[in-house]
Amino acid sequence: MTWDLFFENSICEWWDLVKDRFSGRIFLLGMALLMITGAEASMMGDIDVSRVSEDCGKWRVSFNWSEMDEYKSSVSHGDSESGKEKIVTDTLIMTSLSDKSKVLKVSVIMYSDSNAAPINSSRLIALANETLLKSNVCKKISIVERLIDGRLGVSASGLRCPQEEPVSVAVYSVDYHLDRPGGVLASNAIGIILSSYDQEISDRLINSIKIEQTK
């Protein structure tokens, strides 16, 4: 091998080594940038999500809120009877200030007799269907049984007519304690959640909602 050929081969080998090291560094730099970007996105997601609590009669309603802008809330209270049984309903309504069509509504139905209103899937499905009909839902209606907050429940959804706006509903049993002269009786109440936000947002809201008795 001549000296010129040896020198040429050495230069080529050195250049290949430089390219390999340079490419490796570029690759590592790219990976580092991706990891930093992902970490920043995760931190932003954590910052954007907050736990919101609202009082509603005997109840406190809390949920994760990352999409909602400023909103106004109101609470209503209703009494009714079915035979000898008294039915009390506390309702929390939260309406977006920027878009009044976006509403999150949480109702809790309480019964005067712990044994007079058994909670079963048929009853929950009927309440979900009734809630959809009251919201003028007429298309793509879907109702499925599922656990909500670890308890028996159903999820329902559909499109409100005529604008075909999405509506999501969740109905499930909620722990309730009745105060009686003889002591406190364990009972059940029914929680009804209605959301007119987009399906993905509604699912996240419903999955994060916690209804707890405070009085």
For residues 178-200, give the mean pLDDT.
84
**Structural tokens at position 162:** 């005529």
Residue 44 pLDDT: 40
Beta strands 183-195 and 165-180, pairing class: antiparallel
**Exposure letters 45-68 (e unless 16+ CB within 10 A, then b):** eeeeeeeeebebbbbbbebebebb
Name the pLDDT band for 187 (thresholds 50, 70, 90): confident
CA distance 100 to 54: 19
- The predicted pLDDT at position 53 comes to 94
Q: What is the pTM of this model?
A: 0.74
pLDDT tens for 80-138 read 887 777 889 999 999 999 998 999 999 999 987 765 446 888 999 999 999 999 999 99
Assign domain 51-213 to its CATH architecture.
3-Layer(aba) Sandwich (3.40)
Domain range annotation of the chain: 1-48, 51-213
- Residue 205 predicted with pLDDT over 60: yes
DSSP state of 35: H
Q: Is the pLDDT of residue 177 over 50?
A: yes
Cis peptide leading into residue 162 (ω within 30°): yes
pLDDT at 11 over 50: no
Is the Cβ–Cβ distance between 143 and 125 less than 8 Å? Answer: yes
**27 CB-contact burial (10 Å; exposed 0-12 / middle 13-18 / buried 19+):** exposed
Q: Are 115 and 187 in contact (CB under 8 A)?
A: no
| 10 φ/ψ sector (left φ>0, alpha ψ -120 to 50, else beta) | alpha
Q: What is the pLDDT of residue 149?
A: 86
Q: Which residue has the higher pLDDT, 67 or 191?
A: 191
- Rounded percentage of the chain residues whose pLDDT exceeds 90: 46
29-65 confidence digits (pLDDT tens): 454 444 554 544 444 444 477 888 999 999 999 998 8
CA distance 190 to 109: 5
Is the pLDDT at 165 greater than 50? The verdict is: yes
CB 142 within 8 A of CB 203: no
Task: Please tell me whether residue 16 adopts helix, strand or coil conformation.
Answer: helix
